[in-house]
Amino acid sequence: MSKNTAPKTAPKTADRLDAFTVREFTDKATGEIRHDWNRIGVAFPNSDGKGFRVVLTSLPIDGVIVLRNYEPKEATE
């Protein structure tokens, strides 16, 4: 197999996916169903475009991971 000698570039943040675990709960004060989103990692597309490299800082208990497009937070003044 031949080696790919092309220089590797850092992934663009636009290509990044954030990984979340989502917990559903009932708000005791209002009785409404709410959702608690916890960011647990990130995913970057592979250079061949055929998959993703997923890096997690924790694992969800229920085994469900939600991947969402990265949305940078607006700067606060």
State the DSSP code for 70.
-
The domain total for the chain is 1
In a domain, 22, yes or no: yes
Give the residue numbers spanning the domain of 58: 13-68
Tell me, what's the pLDDT at 73?
82
The pLDDT score that the predictor gives to residue 74 is 82
Instruction: Provide the pLDDT for residue 10.
Output: 54
Query: pLDDT per residue over 10-23, tens digit each?
Result: 556 568 999 999 99
Note whether residue 7 is domain-resident: no
pLDDT in tens, 45-63: 999 999 999 999 999 999 9
CB 57, CB 33: distance < 8 Å: no
Global confidence as pTM: 0.72
